[in-house]
Amino acid sequence: SILLKTGRVFTQNDFLQKQNQVPNTSEIYNGYYYRILQFNTLPTNQQKQAIELSGVQFLGYIPFNSFFVAVPITYQLQQLSVYNVRTILPIEVNSKLSLRLRENDIPAYAKKGGDVDLIIQYYKNLNYATVSEELLSKNCSVLGHQDGNQLITIRTSENNWQSIAALPFIKF
């Protein structure tokens, strides 16, 4: 199983069946798509380095034996079969949201006359300039950012924040 913000997700040992899956175009951003990669046993640092040298970027650990990863669109997932991978899963929008956002409970202090201020986080394989440009094109104003932890404060309309949450490189 994997422990996400939404709770425990039970997984299957089905990587061999999934290794030929192709991402939807809506899941691709800047040459990558994002997944949860779960191993039967935690890979060693040497194994992680070999996987990274093959092109997959580790973006963060998730209990248990799992990682958020960025996968290049040209990557052949079969390359991972030697690393005891249990499964590979898409990152569902709800699993990226805080509890309050999942319940559509936006605090009053974040509401600004039809708009809402949100702090979002982008994956560390991207840079601020690229992400902020994309957010501006999606009707967001960028109010501030912290490069060290990939945080951006945005303002967008209350009826637009869910489409922002669906962007493949965003998490809350």
Three-state SS sequence of 63-89? CCCEEEEEEECCCCHHHHHHHCEEEEE
For residue 10, say if its preceding peptide bond is cis, omega within 30 degrees of 0.
Answer: no
Question: How large a percentage of the chain has pLDDT more than 70?
Answer: 100
pTM for the whole structure = 0.90
pLDDT at 78: 96
* CA 85 to centroid of chain Cα atoms: 19
pLDDT at 36: 96
Joined together, the tokens standing for residue 22 give: 């192709």
Q: Which residues of the chain have pLDDT under 70?
A: none
pLDDT at 171: 84
Q: What is the DSSP letter of 97?
A: S
What is residue 9's three-state secondary structure?
A: strand
* CA 130 to centroid of chain Cα atoms: 16
pLDDT at 155: 97
Query: What CA–CA distance (Å, rounded) separates 39 from 154?
Result: 35
Closest CA to 54 of 90, 80, 22, 29: 80
The strand pairing partners of 2, in sequence order, are 9
Q: What is the DSSP letter of 40?
A: S
pLDDT at 57: 98
Residue 24: which residues within 8 A CB-CB, separation 6 or more? none
pLDDT in tens, 99-122: 888 888 999 999 999 999 999 999
